[in-house]
Chain A
Amino acid sequence: MTSQVSSTAEQADGAVVAEQRPPLPGAGQDGASGPSPEGGQQAEAKEVRKLDRVIIRFAGDSGDGMQLTGDRFTSETASFGNDLSTLPNFPAEIRAPAGTLPGVSSFQLHFADHDILTPGDAPNVLVAMNPAALKANIADVPRGAEIIVNTDEFTKRAMQKVGYAQSPLEDGSLDGFSVHPVPLTTLTVEALKEFDLSRKDAGRSKNMFALGLLSWMYHRPTEGTEKFLKSKFAKKPDIMAANIAAFRAGWNFGETTEDFAVSYEVAPAASAFPTGTYRNISGNLALSYGLVAAGRLAELPLYLGSYPITPASDILHELSKHKNFGVRTFQAEDEIAGIGAALGAAFGGSLAVTTTSGPGVALKSETIGLAVSLELPLLIVDIQRGGPSTGLPTKTEQADLLQAMYGRNGEAPVPVVAPQTPADCFDAAIEAARIALEYRTPVFLLSDGYLANGSEPWRVPETDSLPDLRTPFATGPNHTQEDGTEVFWPYKRDPETLARPWAVPGTPGLEHRIGGIEKQDGTGNISYDPANHEFMVRTRQAKIDGIEVPDIEVDDPSGGARLLVLGWGSTYGPITAAVRRMRTDGEYVAQAHLRHLNPFPKNLGEILKRYDKVVIPEMNLGQLASLIRAEYLVDAQSFTQVTGLPFKAEQLATALKEALDG
């Protein structure tokens, strides 16, 4: 990997106010075993190399705490000021049998001194907590990379369990890698011998030992992790102290052992970030915050009707914490009741949301159709995962696009909005709410598992910079009958937006009945009249087609590109990284990314026709490509992958180069 070679990091222009390399974490202070303060002097003698970026993958058993370890390293990295991108990857089983390949859980983190877009193609460092973790991940690790293995777990039985006839640590199969064999469990137990813990319990802290070691290797600030452990185990002081001791012992081990001769610095990515206050944020958290913010901006109570489903449940969890914002969360008996309750709340004047994944969307389809007919605002958040059916619950895919577009009976158009990065889920949620409220329509927000669980730095917005989403309710009659009486017509539309009035119960004089049966234009009364149905079907479609969405922007710095790469959703990172590579190699490539899938931006057709070639990479079998070809008669080429994992930039760059040359 080119990134692992030493390089002088560019000095940042902007000052970065962040925690710089801290002193040794508590060495010699409160009984943490491990080296004494002399370790610090040894460290100064060790070589420090500067890198521009690093990709680390932590891998272990589902019960080894790899996601927590990754999260903590990410937090340290974020507070240090690097740009970063993460890829948690875990099995659907909560605790698959220990030591098996299906039980391996991993967390990949890419961090850099410049802006980056993906969690990285291949790790520079693999931390393998057991033979299964090594076996499951080694194929992704390029020769020359560093591998830290927990040798304690490389017992004959554990190796046999995953099919290693001989120890990979000894049979030469890891020649070409820089292997650090570390008895992580033994060292952790040794470090915690002063604690009144069984060997098994003490060994549980080995992930914190590993985190300490990696934190030393990469000069990560440690206060955040110590603060986190103190708060997480506030009620279990022994466990707290043990974890902190293991963490510090790991750090000190790095400083003192000769096996780790070099540590690395990755400078803060100051120039990549505009001025502001930053935090690290995952897609599902950003989306949850976007919903809370949208409720505030609309001055409406937020109502979530939801049924737990991977990978969307975290939004339900998060929103249920914010009842002090007036947020009501309703965990329903099933997916249908989740959206049903949301629709009921929308009728009552709430900003209503349902959250789910693909299988849940299938169950909600009939209610979405009802919402189309009732013309009430409703957000349907689909965190896409691998399908069909149960598919790959914890893996990512973009294969619900056509379901969102067309998955209902009758002509039932629904706007579709897709975020492109984890932090962008915040803005996309607000945009989806804007459309739902202004046009009184259900709206799909299509995120996916990669965005949901991945994280990146986010510049915290000023709340007064966010859009005004206030939407007036109907307050009085809107129609004068021939005899002069003033009446309320629930389907008399706004001439500009074609939205119907939102008259909520409790408003005197506007009592009306709505339903899924076809309605007469204007009055909303039941109508089976042929001409009226034709008119209503076309009008509902015209309303969606007429939604104002921003023009799509094309990134073509040279202005000379003849190939356009068009994407949507979470492929933004990998596509942008691939395009950068190609440009570095002197190629001309234009890039555009769709946030609005329905309706498409008005300038999209004209943009597509500017280029000789259009390539559409997607994590499905070409769903956007089908829509584009049908709508614009453009010979778009599809480049697709359905592995449950995001594209790798290298692979995309190769495919784009082939398309360019082909």
Chain B
Amino acid sequence: MADATTAADAPRSFQSLSLVPKSEAKQSMKDFKSDQEVRWCPGCGDYAVLAAVQGFMPELGLAKENIVFVSGIGCSSRFPYYMNTYGMHSIHGRAPAIATGLATSRRDLSVWVVTGDGDALSIGGNHLIHALRRNVNLKILLFNNRIYGLTKGQYSPTSEVGKLTKSSPMGSLDAPFNPVSLAIGAEASFVARTVDSDRKHLTEVLRAAADHPGTALVEIYQNCNIFNDGAFEVLKDKQQAEEAVIRLEHGKPIRFGVDQAKGVVRDPATGDLQVVDVTPENEADILVHDAHNASPTTAFALSRLADPDTLHHTPIGVFRSADRPVYDTLMSDQLDEAVERQGQGDLSALLTGNDTWTVAG
């Protein structure tokens, strides 16, 4: 199991991709760029994510014909067109379902889903939660910009309450989803969060996701500079970020802030997590992050630390990376077991059955 913190140059097996053929030639970022002109708005956070993914792919060392990107509808869902792999730009919200069919029928493929907050959490919410609970071998990159971009600026299911948009001139009424909380509640075995502009962190999270057997959900905070510019500024501005961002590192105490002066402790009365100033007295009580904990309770509590309005105390990194049986492996095992029990299917015997009569000429 890889940690987001492990050094990038450590040799990796990427156990979730063991059935995917390897590339014979050495690959570079260029190999993953398609010949299509990228058509996102200038300054869009999607460019940074695309570059990070294209830059990371050679590290996997997979035959690129065995990599597939599947997307839904929305700005981010144009992503597959720009990857020189197999790809499908499908319909709104359905990418996890389509990718499930592909991944469960072709275990020799590395299947990635690219989706957004509207695509994954609104119209496609059902498919997302069911992919997560099944633990199909999919890597889901959820670009969260907290706005509908392609339809020109309506509030999304992750927009903060009171959001002023074209469809909510008096402020939106909906309480937002927290995608990490939702995923953990949906039995996700791997959940991480990262930020578009932090290439190093984004790459580390991609690496951990790629290595995870089963469904990996990566929430990527992504800036829409046209309709929701600066939505994550508090996490990006160096000074503000120091107090706002909590970097989760497996096996390390959860501390942040200037001089790591703040930390996360468990309230013994409620079991909840809270942020405290670290003192010599409480230093031993600072929670040590365990991403591999089989129980999702603490990961969930971590996901609730962030203030949905101000984004203060936003943890990023791998919240949860737990071992759980992988759906496509189980499905394939059942096929093998059926052959063991019943023998290879004999069509003629099947059609004939065991209750026949004969009409002679």
Tell me the residues in window 57-116 of chain B with beta carbons closer than 8 Å to chain A beta carbons. 63-68, 70, 80-81, 83-91, 94, 97-106, 108-109
- Which residue in A75, A274, A303 is a CB contact (below 8 Å) of B105? A303
* Residues on A with beta carbons closer than 8 Å to the beta carbon of B270: none
Asked if A599 is at the interface (CB within 8 A of a chain B CB), the reply is no
In the complex the two chains form, is A370's CB within 8 Å of B106's CB? no
Give 21 pairs: A residue, B residue, CB < 8 Å, sorted on A.
A14-B361, A80-B357, A273-B359, A275-B361, A278-B357, A301-B105, A328-B335, A330-B100, A330-B331, A337-B130, A340-B97, A340-B100, A367-B91, A463-B347, A506-B21, A506-B63, A506-B65, A509-B65, A515-B88, A516-B89, A516-B90
Distance, CA A556 to CA B299, complexed state (A):
75
Asked if A78 is at the interface (CB within 8 A of a chain B CB), the reply is yes
Query: B231 to nearest A CB, angstroms?
Result: 27
Closest to B32 in A: A511
Closest to B79 in A: A513
Chain B proximity mask over A304-339: 1 for CB below 8 Å, otherwise 0: 010000000000000000111111101011101100
In the complex the two chains form, is A340's CB within 8 Å of B360's CB? no
In the complex the two chains form, is B357's CB within 8 Å of A17's CB? yes
* Residues on B with beta carbons closer than 8 Å to the beta carbon of A505: 65-68, 86, 102, 106, 109
Query: B164 to nearest A CB, angstroms?
Result: 31
Asked if A342 is at the interface (CB within 8 A of a chain B CB), the reply is yes
Closest to B63 in A: A508
Distance, CA A81 to CA B94, complexed state (A):
50
**Nearest 4 A/B pairs, CB to CB:** A515-B89, A344-B101, A340-B97, A341-B101
Distance, CA A209 to CA B65, complexed state (A):
64
Query: B114 to nearest A CB, angstroms?
Result: 12
Of listed A292, A340, A347, residue having the most chain B CB within 10 A: A340
* A506 with B106, Cβ < 8 A, contacts A15-B360, A292-B350, A340-B127 known: yes
Chain B proximity mask over A501-532: 1 for CB below 8 Å, otherwise 0: 00001111111111111000000011000000
Distance, CA A512 to CA B108, complexed state (A):
18
Task: Decide if the interface of chain A is mainly helix, strand, loop or mixed.
Answer: mixed
Asked if B334 is at the interface (CB within 8 A of a chain A CB), the reply is yes
In the complex the two chains form, is B102's CB within 8 Å of A276's CB? no
* Residues on B with beta carbons closer than 8 Å to the beta carbon of A350: 105
Query: B306 to nearest A CB, angstroms?
Result: 29
Of listed B21, B83, B89, residue having the most chain A CB within 10 A: B89
- Which residue in A78, A462, A511 is a CB contact (below 8 Å) of B84? A511
Q: For chain A, give the interface size range.
A: 35 or more
* Residues on A with beta carbons closer than 8 Å to the beta carbon of B341: 324
Closest to A279 in B: B356
Asked if B36 is at the interface (CB within 8 A of a chain A CB), the reply is yes
Asked if B344 is at the interface (CB within 8 A of a chain A CB), the reply is yes
Asked if B38 is at the interface (CB within 8 A of a chain A CB), the reply is no
Known: A275-B360, A301-B105. 10 other contacts (CB 8 A): A78-B355, A81-B359, A292-B350, A345-B102, A366-B91, A508-B65, A511-B86, A513-B81, A513-B89, A516-B90
Tell me the residues in window 193-236 of chain B with beta carbons closer than 8 Å to chain A beta carbons. none
Chain B proximity mask over A338-367: 1 for CB below 8 Å, otherwise 0: 001111111111101000000000000011
Tell me the residues in window 47-63 of chain A with beta carbons closer than 8 Å to chain B beta carbons. none
In the complex the two chains form, is A341's CB within 8 Å of B351's CB? no
In the complex the two chains form, is B65's CB within 8 Å of A328's CB? no
- Which residue in A18, A78, A326, A332 is a CB contact (below 8 Å) of B335? A326
* Residues on A with beta carbons closer than 8 Å to the beta carbon of B90: 340, 343, 370, 515-516
- Which residue in A224, A324, A348, A517 is a CB contact (below 8 Å) of B106? A348
In the complex the two chains form, is A344's CB within 8 Å of B98's CB? yes
* Residues on A with beta carbons closer than 8 Å to the beta carbon of B342: 324
In the complex the two chains form, is B89's CB within 8 Å of A340's CB? no
Asked if B280 is at the interface (CB within 8 A of a chain A CB), the reply is no
Distance, CA A640 to CA B350, complexed state (A):
38
Distance, CA A330 to CA B108, complexed state (A):
18
Distance, CA A506 to CA B334, complexed state (A):
24
In the complex the two chains form, is A511's CB within 8 Å of B98's CB? no
* A326 with B355, Cβ < 8 A, contacts A340-B97, A510-B65 known: no
In the complex the two chains form, is B126's CB within 8 Å of A333's CB? yes
Q: For chain B, give the interface size range.
A: 35 or more
Query: A528 to nearest B CB, angstroms?
Result: 11
Asked if A607 is at the interface (CB within 8 A of a chain B CB), the reply is no
* Residues on B with beta carbons closer than 8 Å to the beta carbon of A608: none
* A322 with B359, Cβ < 8 A, contacts A506-B109, A513-B34 known: no
* A511 with B338, Cβ < 8 A, contacts A289-B351, A344-B100 known: no
* Residues on B with beta carbons closer than 8 Å to the beta carbon of A463: 347-348, 351
Closest to A270 in B: B359
* Residues on A with beta carbons closer than 8 Å to the beta carbon of B169: none
Distance, CA A18 to CA B109, complexed state (A):
52
In the complex the two chains form, is A525's CB within 8 Å of B36's CB? yes
Asked if A402 is at the interface (CB within 8 A of a chain B CB), the reply is no
* Residues on B with beta carbons closer than 8 Å to the beta carbon of A75: 355
Closest to A274 in B: B359
Asked if A280 is at the interface (CB within 8 A of a chain B CB), the reply is yes
* A460 with B89, Cβ < 8 A, contacts A274-B359, A333-B126 known: no
In the complex the two chains form, is A324's CB within 8 Å of B343's CB? yes
* Residues on B with beta carbons closer than 8 Å to the beta carbon of A301: 105
In the complex the two chains form, is A289's CB within 8 Å of B350's CB? yes
Asked if A579 is at the interface (CB within 8 A of a chain B CB), the reply is no
* Residues on B with beta carbons closer than 8 Å to the beta carbon of A341: 97-98, 100-101, 104
- Which residue in B98, B337, B338, B344 is a CB contact (below 8 Å) of A343? B98
In the complex the two chains form, is A280's CB within 8 Å of B355's CB? yes
Asked if B353 is at the interface (CB within 8 A of a chain A CB), the reply is yes
Asked if B295 is at the interface (CB within 8 A of a chain A CB), the reply is no
In the complex the two chains form, is A513's CB within 8 Å of B101's CB? no
* Residues on B with beta carbons closer than 8 Å to the beta carbon of A510: 65
* Residues on A with beta carbons closer than 8 Å to the beta carbon of B130: 332-333, 337
* Residues on A with beta carbons closer than 8 Å to the beta carbon of B261: none
* Residues on B with beta carbons closer than 8 Å to the beta carbon of A333: 97, 126-127, 130
Distance, CA A349 to CA B65, complexed state (A):
14
In the complex the two chains form, is B353's CB within 8 Å of A14's CB? no
* Residues on A with beta carbons closer than 8 Å to the beta carbon of B151: none
In the complex the two chains form, is B356's CB within 8 Å of A460's CB? yes
Asked if B339 is at the interface (CB within 8 A of a chain A CB), the reply is yes
Asked if A296 is at the interface (CB within 8 A of a chain B CB), the reply is yes
Query: A576 to nearest B CB, angstroms?
Result: 21
* Residues on B with beta carbons closer than 8 Å to the beta carbon of A620: none
Tell me the residues in window 1-41 of chain A with beta carbons closer than 8 Å to chain B beta carbons. 14-19
In the complex the two chains form, is A322's CB within 8 Å of B105's CB? no
* Residues on B with beta carbons closer than 8 Å to the beta carbon of A352: 101
Query: B118 to nearest A CB, angstroms?
Result: 16
In the complex the two chains form, is A337's CB within 8 Å of B359's CB? no
* Residues on A with beta carbons closer than 8 Å to the beta carbon of B70: 344
Query: A333 to nearest B CB, angstroms?
Result: 4
- Which residue in A17, A19, A334 is a CB contact (below 8 Å) of B126? A334
Tell me the residues in window 303-348 of chain B with beta carbons closer than 8 Å to chain A beta carbons. 331, 334-335, 337-339, 341-345, 347-348
Query: B108 to nearest A CB, angstroms?
Result: 6
Distance, CA A97 to CA B254, complexed state (A):
60
Query: B28 to nearest A CB, angstroms?
Result: 16
In the complex the two chains form, is A340's CB within 8 Å of B345's CB? no
Query: B345 to nearest A CB, angstroms?
Result: 3
Query: A269 to nearest B CB, angstroms?
Result: 9
In the complex the two chains form, is B101's CB within 8 Å of A507's CB? no
Asked if A399 is at the interface (CB within 8 A of a chain B CB), the reply is no
Query: B305 to nearest A CB, angstroms?
Result: 30
Distance, CA A19 to CA B356, complexed state (A):
11
In the complex the two chains form, is A322's CB within 8 Å of B355's CB? no
Of listed A279, A303, A324, A327, residue having the most chain B CB within 10 A: A324
Query: A16 to nearest B CB, angstroms?
Result: 6
